[in-house]
Structure 1
């Protein structure tokens, strides 16, 4: 069995299914993805670095689907977003895509103090506040502190509602981050009933699967989008590739203060990424 070496130096078995999934996300068909994954597994040396595998995946994907050249790695694309307000707005858009009614963040009064939350979301009769945690490096791990803070805020807001100070009845909290969660953070959130969405957690509805299911990719998934451009787009409320690909280019250019030619270029590449 061959192994790969991760960025932190640890080794793990080569998983062809992960390679296939990455290829499928680039628009490669199932049979072709399986064939390419097998070829890569056979050709790489034992202990190959994951970065080298990713370069091979991209090269092979571009060979069979040129549009793959316009796509950036999803985890990197999320890291390229600014924490505030870009990633916060991206999370709000993503939650709406999954059936939540979402309001922009506000300040809620608890019994003992005021709390600024990133969003208020409602679905299936439950109202929760959303806390968004963003790391530039996706190799960081989101730890226990966010869960402990959320637990304290829930208690204060619920007591504030019972006392008449808070006008919103909060049922719980949801923490959304773009990185993996520590095992301690997972255990605490489960024990305390705090919702948690991380890069790969929980298994059935994590950040990656939520994005891929609705194709709600950040605009930075489009290769070549400079940070100055993504910042202007976000200021105009445009944070996903779908918004650029299928929105009115002239309106986006006007609102974001970007040349129309630039918006049309990004829109064309975004459609190439999104469409099979």
Structure 2
């Protein structure tokens, strides 16, 4: 007799059948070993019930993974960790700027530029080989919030206003080439189609395919400090208040850990986790 599928809640509206394959795939992406994955799934399966939320499943998997492999647990928590960078969008802008620097861009965060009609604040201004890119970052604390077509419509109109002023100014030695829109959640299909049509570059959690934010962070090891399992959320926000957003930044300024009241024993644990996570 075929077993009746168990349905899990994706959010307050959507449901889907529970899939061990999907859970296994997410654990594989974190770098967890085959043995750890099999062990975690065997523990979670008996705890799954009809109507359980995907968030509750994540918490269970994260807790089990944290006990066996903190480095994999840090990677597994990446999406949630980016949400925890809030409530303001500034740390996310810093993260985006750091990713661009790894790709050879010179970047500046929070720049005021004159347009042909009005003045605009640009989240990140990036320059490479004489071309300049105006980047708008849309940070969301809720995974259910998508960027619809209204957002790129607005961003593109701002970019065109700035571009007219920039490229007709004889004092500028660079060319303002393109606008970008970056979000930590996702774009609707209409938003993607509009951006393609007008030449606006989009970057989200999983877009472009295999080259989204997640893949870029994993490639360059630019993990936000909110991924660390050896710090409390309060301690992470204390570090953000000290302008530390990335794990690699914390490694270079580890004296700040003592400044916020962390003991020498815990500081060693934090640095050990950073070393393994970023392969320093």
Shorter-chain TM-score bucket reads 0.7 to 0.9
Deviations 1:245-272 (A, max 9, x none): x32423x458xx5346365553344345
TM-score for the superposition, normalised by structure 1: 0.80
Q: Which residue of 2 aligns with 1:176?
A: 182
User: Post-superposition shift, 1:159?
Assistant: 1.5
User: Post-superposition shift, 1:134?
Assistant: 0.9
Deviations 1:20-74 (A, max 9, x none): 3432354412x33663576478654566431232234224424543665667722
1:81 correspondence with 2:85: yes
1:1-276 equivalent positions in 2, closer than 5 A: 2=5, 3-29=7-33, 31-32=34-35, 35-36=38-39, 39=42, 43=46, 44-45=48-49, 48-65=52-69, 73-82=77-86, 83-123=88-128, 126-164=131-169, 167=172, 168-223=174-229, 225-226=231-232, 228-244=234-250, 246-250=251-255, 252-253=256-257, 257-259=259-261, 261=263, 264-271=268-275, 273-274=277-278
User: Post-superposition shift, 1:90?
Assistant: 1.7
TM-score for the superposition, normalised by structure 2: 0.79
SS at match of 1:148: helix
Conserved? CA contact 1:160–1:166, under 8 Å: no
How far, CA to CA, are the matches of 1:60 and 1:156 in structure 2?
A: 51
Tell me how large the CA RMSD over aligned residues is. Answer: 3.3
Conserved? CA contact 1:218–1:240, under 8 Å: yes
Give the gaps of 5 or more residues in structure 2.
Answer: none
SS at match of 2:57: helix
Question: What is the total number of aligned residue pairs between the two structures?
Answer: 271
